[in-house]
């Protein structure tokens, strides 16, 4: 009886090992050779057809804001702010928001006219060389600063020497 049991055990073990070997051969060797390339092409074709637009938008790198043309900057900006440096009683010169040249009614900005724009409040002593005005471009909602430039006089040199009056007109047209 023990002899029959050991023969049955050996037969079952051999059968199990054979089954595992055939399964491995099929799953890891034969399947990828014959069916794998067809399945991969089909899946990737379907994936690319369904998601082509999404993938193109995701992969396409966005041009940095400072590389945009002036018209593109104005169009992209949610808010364009004019600030002026004002001399304080303690001698410090602070940029104070004077005007919104462009406002997107569907966007939020956490500044109002009369607020100090603290990012550029680092002039502790008065100086004659300080640019007197500041243009700040904000993007998104809530709006975050993407580009700024200082200037004096009526022309903004870093924006192609555009007169302030013409910039105002372009901002009004864009809004």
Q: Same domain, yes or no, for 124 and 152?
A: yes
Return the closest-CA partner of residue 171 out of 105, 83, 100, 97.
Answer: 100
Q: Same domain, yes or no, for 80 and 130?
A: yes
Q: Same domain, yes or no, for 75 and 98?
A: yes
- Using an 8 Å Cβ cutoff, are 108 and 50 in contact? no
58-70: string of b/e by CB count within 10 Å (b at 16+)? eeeeeeeeeebee
Q: Same domain, yes or no, for 41 and 88?
A: no
What's residue 100's pLDDT?
95
Q: Same domain, yes or no, for 48 and 112?
A: no
Q: Same domain, yes or no, for 19 and 70?
A: no
Q: Same domain, yes or no, for 83 and 144?
A: yes
Q: Same domain, yes or no, for 155 and 92?
A: yes
What's residue 144's pLDDT?
92
What's residue 87's pLDDT?
79
Q: Same domain, yes or no, for 38 and 82?
A: no
Q: Same domain, yes or no, for 100 and 159?
A: yes
Question: What does 31-73 look like in DSSP terms, one character per residue?
Answer: HHHHTHHHHHHHHHHHHHHHHHHHHHHHHSPPPPGGGS-HHHH
- Using an 8 Å Cβ cutoff, are 61 and 49 in contact? no
Q: Same domain, yes or no, for 54 and 113?
A: no
At 175 the three-state DSSP class reads coil
What's residue 72's pLDDT?
92
Q: Would you give per-residue pLDDT tens digits along the chain (175 residues)? A: 777 777 777 777 777 787 777 777 676 766 666 665 555 555 555 555 555 555 555 555 678 888 899 999 999 999 999 999 887 777 778 889 999 999 999 999 999 999 988 877 766 555 554 658 899 999 998 999 999 998 888 888 888 889 999 999 998 888 7
How many domains are contained in the chain? Answer: 2
Two tokens at 92?
């410090």
Two tokens at 120?
């550029």
The whole-angstrom separation of Cα 89 and Cα 144 is 30
Give the model confidence (pLDDT) of 98-117 as tens digits.
Answer: 999 999 999 999 999 999 88
For residue 131, give its domain range.
65-174
Q: Which residue has the tokens 């992209």?
A: 76
pTM reported for the whole predicted model:
0.62
Q: Same domain, yes or no, for 90 and 40?
A: no
């Amino acid at each position: 009886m023990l002899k029959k049991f050991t023969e049955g055990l050996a037969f079952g073990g051999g059968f199990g090992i054979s089954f595992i070997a055939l399964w491995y051969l099929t799953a890891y060797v034969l399947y990828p050779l014959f069916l794998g390339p067809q399945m991969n092409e089909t899946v990737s074709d379907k994936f690319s057809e369904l998601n082509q637009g999404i993938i193109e938008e995701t992969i396409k790198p966005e041009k940095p804001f400072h590389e945009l043309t002036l018209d593109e900057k104005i169009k992209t900006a949610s808010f364009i702010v004019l600030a002026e440096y004002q001399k304080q009683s303690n001698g410090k010169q602070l940029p104070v928001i004077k005007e919104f040249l462009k406002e997107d009614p569907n966007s939020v900005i956490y500044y109002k006219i009369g607020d100090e724009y603290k990012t550029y409040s680092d002039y502790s002593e008065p100086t004659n060389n300080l640019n007197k005005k500041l243009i700040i471009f904000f993007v998104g909602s809530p709006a975050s600063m993407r580009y700024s430039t200082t200037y004096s006089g009526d022309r903004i040199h870093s924006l192609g020497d555009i007169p302030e009056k013409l910039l105002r007109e372009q901002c009004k047209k864009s809004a």
